[in-house]
Structure 1
Amino acid sequence: MKLKGLSALASVLLLTTAVSACGGSNNGNNQGNSSSDTSTNTSSNSSTNSSGNNAAATDDTSSNASTDNSGSNAAAAGNDKEFTIRVGAWFLDDRPYMVQFKKDVETAYAKLYPKAKIQWDVVLGATYFDKLKAQFASGSAPDVVFYQGVDFAKSGNLQDLSAEPWVARLNTGGQKDFQTHADGKTFGVPMGLSIGGGVWYNKKIFSDLGIQAPKTTQELMDAAEKIKTSGKTPITLGFKDQWTASLFYFNWLNSYQLNDPTLGQKVYSGEQKINDDALIQKVYQNFEQMKSKGYFNKNAISIDWPQSGQMFASGEAAMIVQGPWMPGANADNINKGGFEKFDIGYFPLANDDGKVAMGLGSNEALGVNAKTELMQESKDLVNLITSADIISPFMKGDGALTSFTDVTVQYDDPVMNDVQAAVDNSTVVTSNLTNFIPASAATNMLDLLTKVVSGVKFNADDLKPAQASFDKDKATVSPPAE
């Protein structure tokens, strides 16, 4: 793995908060559309077990459980202090590994503070982040918060955790994670490292057609042509969900940007205009070519991510561009749909020369409210979560790579070994163009991509609205430090 210091672009974050809020679900459902507040008050020493039937379920775990957790040693066992500690999150739903995660945390925390209660303040989806910002502003934020985006740290909302014992255990990727580090300090735990995305493919279809995993753009085009000729859809898209378009376009641009690593800085400084850059244009031209040759599903812009996932699971489509949750989502879709099982493979999106840049960063970050009245208790909770017994199963369920030197993850699907190999053989970037442009400009770029995929011929002048949005909203951008 070659870490490229492209000014700390958070590749996973560039997919917007909606990606993890909706795409992270291994059940293939779009959780990002949910805004339900599922706050629960959970006793960490209750003897009642949760059924885990819904995201708002109360997960009560006995403090007598035998799970051993050495992640925290700051608090003495037998501390009889009574308090309720609040934990905020947007993703803790009823998936089995999420339910187990909460139970494991409660069990371990009960050993430190037998009379404490953990209150899980869960708001599913992107609505959580708006609520969290308002809570920080009003002084009512949870004591411990899961978050996305380094702005929470830069704004002074999160406690500096640089002196905590788990910091020294972070691996290279964890140490360079964009959203948990700022100004030379560590503000949060990267709960595993996620790839920004890539191509997942049906190994049976590839094998039957004698196709090897493509290593260049041309090889991808050649593979798509063989698949189309066989009567299958080469690549299924669900561009009704715009974040899927973002995931595809900007991950592909990452690899092309290796030919100009300072593109983001150039655009931000005004040295390079969005509508005049050849690399930005090249990716649109790739999409235009694939559309013209019929390599996408005809309903690409009218179906969403779950529907495109169903197309892939059914065997109708040979490839899908998605994030690290795809193995779990595909297995679930196959089971629910009654489709024939197949093994999936993975390869990253390369440029014309076969160069690959892969985004790597934390999907969920975990920090402490800088103004909590339970500072030590909050640090203890965060510390125990970093123990292998708790965080390794979480990473496995999340489809994430480890962010710690002493934590290994045993995956059910061997395709994750392909993912790790791809990371090891790629230039890993921790940022991309979206970190240097306002959201309005990125939206303009994705709107144009949708038009191209619908059949409109690409014209570089159609990128001028993106440049205009950049000029208008540049002040809203906080670019990564060079």
Structure 2
Amino acid sequence: MKTSHRMLASAVAVLATAALASCGSGSEPAADGTVTLSFMTGSDQSTVDTSKALADAFMKADPTIKIDMEHQPGGSEGDNVVKTRLSTGEMTDVFWYNSGSLLQALNPAQTLVDLTGDPVLAQVQPDYLPVVSHDGKAYGVPATTMGGGGILYNRKVYERLGLEVPRTWADFMANNDTIKAAGVTPVISTFKDTWTSQIFVLADYHNVQAAVPGFAADYTAGKAKFATTPAATGGFQHLADVHAKGHLNKGFGSATLDQGLKMLVEGEGAHYAMLSQLLPPLLETYPQTATDVGYFGIPGDDPAAGGATVWEPAALYIARTTEHLDAAKKFLAFVASPAGTEAVTAAVQPSGPYRIKGSKLPEDAIQVAKDLQAYIDRGATTPALEFLSPIKGPSLEQITVAVGSGLTQPAEGAAQYDKDVEKQARQLGLAGW
């Protein structure tokens, strides 16, 4: 999603500092026979570490190809850099970018190399391909691991209070009452970083699809709305529930993501609606993150339909303007192989499973990755709506802050969001809007 780079950048407080360079490498190999690929990646620490691990391992495996890395800014600024350089023909040979709905805005048929049926994709899990595809053609390979959206929880607090992972929303609220009575903050909210307020809504999508299997298609076609679909209004109601019951931390309106993660890891708060991808950068400062923080999907009303909403990995793509197509394909094939994922695991603790055949989590994987793997093993995951529909309104985070602060009623917030997405749907030229 558009906020994904910004999220991780906020978590580790890393900003891009290097000026963007031009593509550089020409079409002819160097005098020593080597080819140099240009590779643009993100600026947050997890992405930087992952990209460097992949590049270093690949260059060791194939000394005839060198990789020059550059870093784009996070958030909307980086998004604009990618779009501008693609449109002007000045993109690097290979680049890191979102999968899912945001890919469609890159006009991939004109700007990216079509990899459909190419051996590059041979080891990519087939159910990943739709999120890097446009009009039935696939353009990318997974660059990192899958992440889970839902509730990160402090396992030590649960153990001390004798609590079990809740199977329904009512169970979750009952746990919160017990936690509050014990003098611990039940639910951490960090509305200073406004994007964090969206997770209760975005990560509730597994429950929406379980109740209304055709919601994504009908939503995209302008037929289904959040405000008129009770299951889709549920995420807004969750925000209101935890506020109304006094389950939030003091000063939640001015609290930051970093403060929220610290509260969770240190056991000052028991639950945090958040993304699992944010945890690996904490391990150096808070090694207990690996074992003390667990994950579960946002519970719904039907315990039999419980599951997790997942964020598919970002991808690596090849710009159509590359003059080193063979070398670029070799790099992507390495990224999309067990050797590539092993190189990443050695540098960055995975926050979830890889999307590569034959790649497995290490035995010492952090607990949230193991918890997410358990959902996958039992077939109880659903991609977030942004991987199933190109529509995501720009004002959701402002709306969810208001609902989560008790200023706006859940039904009103859902209706506001329905209005928010109309302009974007029309800009995309979607039928039914």
TM interval, shorter chain, is 0.7 to 0.9
Partner of 1:468: 419
Partner of 2:3: 18
Question: Is the counterpart of residue 298 in structure 1 residue 255 in structure 2?
Answer: no
Partner of 2:321: 371
Question: Is the counterpart of residue 120 in structure 1 residue 69 in structure 2?
Answer: yes
Alignment of 1:145-294 (within 5 A): 145-148=95-98, 149-151=102-104, 152=106, 154-176=108-130, 178=131, 180-294=132-246
Query: Match for 2:325: what amino acid?
Result: M
Query: Match for 2:82: what amino acid?
Result: L
Cα-to-partner distance string for 1:380-402 (whole Å, 9 max, x where unaligned): 22222333233234255342312
Call closer, same or farther: CA 1:466–1:203 in 2, change over 3 Å: closer
Call closer, same or farther: CA 1:243–1:312 in 2, change over 3 Å: same
Partner of 1:458: 409
Cα-to-partner distance string for 1:118-151 (whole Å, 9 max, x where unaligned): 2212123122221111111111100111111322
Aligned equivalents of 1:17, 1:462: Cα separation in 2: 21
Cα-to-partner distance string for 1:36-87 (whole Å, 9 max, x where unaligned): 335589xxxxxxxxxxxxxxxxxxxxxxxxxxxxxxxxxxxx9943443211
Query: Match for 2:2: what amino acid?
Result: T
Query: Match for 2:349: what amino acid?
Result: G
Partner of 1:425: 378
Call closer, same or farther: CA 1:306–1:340 in 2, change over 3 Å: closer
1:173 Cα shift?
3.5
Call closer, same or farther: CA 1:463–1:388 in 2, change over 3 Å: closer
Partner of 1:29: 12
Q: Are the counterparts in 2 of residues 23 and 323 from structure 1 also a CA contact under 8 Å?
A: no
Please report the RMSD computed on the Cα atoms of aligned residues, expressed in angstroms: 3.2
Call closer, same or farther: CA 1:418–1:217 in 2, change over 3 Å: same
Aligned equivalents of 1:154, 1:347: Cα separation in 2: 35
Partner of 2:38: 86
Aligned equivalents of 1:118, 1:203: Cα separation in 2: 42
Query: Match for 1:352: what amino acid?
Result: D
Partner of 2:306: 356
Call closer, same or farther: CA 1:30–1:254 in 2, change over 3 Å: farther
Call closer, same or farther: CA 1:329–1:231 in 2, change over 3 Å: farther
Cα-to-partner distance string for 1:422-467 (whole Å, 9 max, x where unaligned): 2223533235168547444x52x43232112212251524544333
Q: Are the counterparts in 1 of residues 350 and 365 from structure 2 also a CA contact under 8 Å?
A: no
Q: Are the counterparts in 1 of residues 154 and 271 from structure 2 also a CA contact under 8 Å?
A: yes
Partner of 2:85: 135
1:93 Cα shift?
4.1
Call closer, same or farther: CA 1:340–1:192 in 2, change over 3 Å: closer
Question: Which of 366, 384, 387 is the equivalent residue of 1:413?
Answer: 366
Partner of 1:347: 296
Query: Match for 2:331: what amino acid?
Result: L
Q: Percent identity, aligned pairs only?
A: 20
Call closer, same or farther: CA 1:393–1:215 in 2, change over 3 Å: farther
TM-score, normalised to structure 1's length?
0.77
1:249 Cα shift?
1.4
Aligned equivalents of 1:474, 1:357: Cα separation in 2: 29
Alignment of 1:398-409 (within 5 A): 398-409=350-361
Aligned equivalents of 2:299, 2:430: Cα separation in 1: 25
Tell me whether 288-297 or 238-247 shows the greater mean CA deviation.
Answer: 238-247
1:350 Cα shift?
2.0
1:301 Cα shift?
2.5
Aligned equivalents of 2:387, 2:318: Cα separation in 1: 27
1:330 Cα shift?
4.2
Aligned equivalents of 2:6, 2:13: Cα separation in 1: 5
Partner of 2:26: none
Aligned equivalents of 2:371, 2:418: Cα separation in 1: 38
Aligned equivalents of 1:125, 1:401: Cα separation in 2: 24
Call closer, same or farther: CA 1:457–1:246 in 2, change over 3 Å: closer
**Unaligned 5+ residue runs, structure 1?**
1-15, 42-77
Query: Match for 1:37: what amino acid?
Result: A
Partner of 1:109: 62
Query: Match for 2:299: what amino acid?
Result: A
Call closer, same or farther: CA 1:240–1:222 in 2, change over 3 Å: same
Partner of 1:385: 335
Aligned equivalents of 1:204, 1:196: Cα separation in 2: 20
Q: Are the counterparts in 2 of residues 196 and 323 from structure 1 also a CA contact under 8 Å?
A: yes
Cα-to-partner distance string for 1:294-353 (whole Å, 9 max, x where unaligned): 111132232221111111122210122222224424433425xxx999622221112111
Call closer, same or farther: CA 1:433–1:409 in 2, change over 3 Å: closer
1:238 Cα shift?
1.6
Cα-to-partner distance string for 1:245-292 (whole Å, 9 max, x where unaligned): 223311114313311122233334343343333223333222222111
1:221 Cα shift?
0.5
What secondary structure does 2:294 align onto? strand
Query: Match for 1:188: what amino acid?
Result: G
1:162 Cα shift?
2.3
TM-score, normalised to structure 2's length?
0.85
Q: Are the counterparts in 2 of residues 93 and 124 from structure 1 also a CA contact under 8 Å?
A: no
Q: Are the counterparts in 2 of residues 392 and 409 from structure 1 also a CA contact under 8 Å?
A: no
Q: Are the counterparts in 2 of residues 35 and 128 from structure 1 also a CA contact under 8 Å?
A: no
Tell me whether 81-90 or 343-352 shows the greater mean CA deviation.
Answer: 81-90
Aligned equivalents of 1:251, 1:391: Cα separation in 2: 26
Aligned equivalents of 1:38, 1:109: Cα separation in 2: 28
What secondary structure does 1:371 align onto? coil
Aligned equivalents of 1:461, 1:325: Cα separation in 2: 31
Q: Are the counterparts in 2 of residues 88 and 121 from structure 1 also a CA contact under 8 Å?
A: yes
